Amino acid sequence: MRQMEIPPFRDEITISDLENLYKHRLSKTVVLWPNQAIPLLGYMCWPNDPAARDQLTLALRNWANGSQLVPPRLGRIQHEWLRIADILHDHYDLHHGQHQRRRGGPSLGKAITLVAATARSRGTRPANLWKLWEKYKDVAHLVTAAALVCADVRTRLGNEQIGPFGLSRDQFLPFQTTMLLPDLVVAVGLEFERHGLNLVPYSRSEPTLDPETLWRIPPGINVAPVAPPARSITAQDFVVLASRRAGNRGKANRRESMPVFDSARPEERETQMVGGGEVPTLPTPTGEK
């Protein structure tokens, strides 16, 4: 079992008012929690390369001294994060909607089939998605949380900039999300971590996220979980899943649809809010692309 080396937040954080949090935190570009945000990004960018992780964290700490050095491959890494987020959130949707129970329930193969059929960007064939999953699977809960929070912020902002010193909508990306809102990323990541470790796929003996290699969030980090939204599966998604044979990782039949995290799913996918007791729910992003 692996656990990230991230210091706890100073006080117990419970997030219930996202609108107020965004307005307060995003009205300026001050990193309020650098000791948590910087190592968190190190794990997310380079989960299995300690040397590259150390270089990234050093570069980010030098930003406080006026350095403007942009970490290498940062744009590509964030693009890959979005595909991982698509996969894990679709897997979460399949589970909470209790879909495909007669065919073994949710699985990574089914989630990847859906992403390959809906994504319109290059490099989203099933074989490529499996390679990306292998690369980032040990931080998939955090990557998915960052992408989801970023989409929610961009949707709420529209074309508006919060304050004269805040980021504009186009400037706000998953990397910046984690720098400015590490507590919220951790809060949502806790629920994705719980989901991935508790759900054991049909005919498998291990959960969806590998308990031995997953970079776990420290238990005493002082952040209460925030549940991500579970979205409804569209009629087109059912067609894609029905045509998929169990264990088939080949090329999926492609169809046009909105990318999962660019703004919203198609109109026929209605939002479902699931809270899970006292755990608050992050709203599903809505609005135009």
**First-to-last CA distance in the chain?**
40
> Would you give the distance in Å from CA 190 to the centre of its chain?
11
Tokens of 26: 């995003």
Alpha carbon separation from 116 to 113, 143, 230, 252, 257 (Å, rounded): 5, 19, 20, 7, 11
On whether the CB atoms of residues 13 and 187 are closer than 8 A, the answer is: yes
Determine the Cα–Cα distance for residues 179 and 170; give it in Å rounded to an integer: 16
The tens-digit pLDDT sequence of the chain (289 residues) is: 899 999 999 989 999 899 889 888 888 888 999 999 999 999 999 999 999 999 999 999 988 777 777 788 888 999 999 999 999 998 888 886 665 555 556 788 888 988 888 776 666 788 999 999 999 999 999 999 999 999 998 888 776 767 667 777 777 899 999 999 999 999 999 999 999 998 886 666 689 899 999 999 999 999 999 988 777 777 777 677 777 654 444 443 333 332 332 333 333 332 222 223 334 444 443 333 2
| CA pair distance 3, 25, nearest whole angstrom | 28
**11 Rama class: left (phi>0) / alpha (psi -120 to 50) / beta:** beta
Q: How buried is 118 (Cβ within 10 angstroms: 0-12 exposed, 13-18 middle, 19+ buried)?
A: buried
